[in-house]
Amino acid sequence: MIQFLIHEAADSVGVATVDIKAGEGVKGLYMDSQNPVEVVALDDIPLGHKLAMKDHKIDEAVIKYGFDIGRVVADIKQGGHVHIQNLKTRRW
């Protein structure tokens, strides 16, 4: 079962298609290539929220759908929940 989707290879986050529990090994799919990917979730990640596909350091960009959606304000490990606690939009 696919539990998250990544739009394209350049994206640094995937989007949960189900609720994901911390510690769970989850399966995802790159939509552009149909290549599968697996990662261990470090946090609970609700449906529709972002899952880090790589480690992110403070001030790095987060890429989703091929676009820079914001900057990291707290380090994020691969498999971590990417949300308002560690990501700020570039608009504000």
Residue 92's pLDDT is: 62
Q: Which of 22, 10, 20, 61 is nearest to 1 (CA)?
A: 20
Q: What is the pTM of this model?
A: 0.93
CB–CB of 68/61 below 8 Å? Answer: yes
Residue 90's pLDDT is: 75
pLDDT tens digits, residue range 30-87? 999 999 999 999 999 999 999 999 999 999 999 999 999 999 999 999 999 999 999 9
Residue 59's pLDDT is: 95
CB–CB of 29/18 below 8 Å? Answer: no
Domains and CATH numbers, the chain: 4-88 (2.30.130.110)
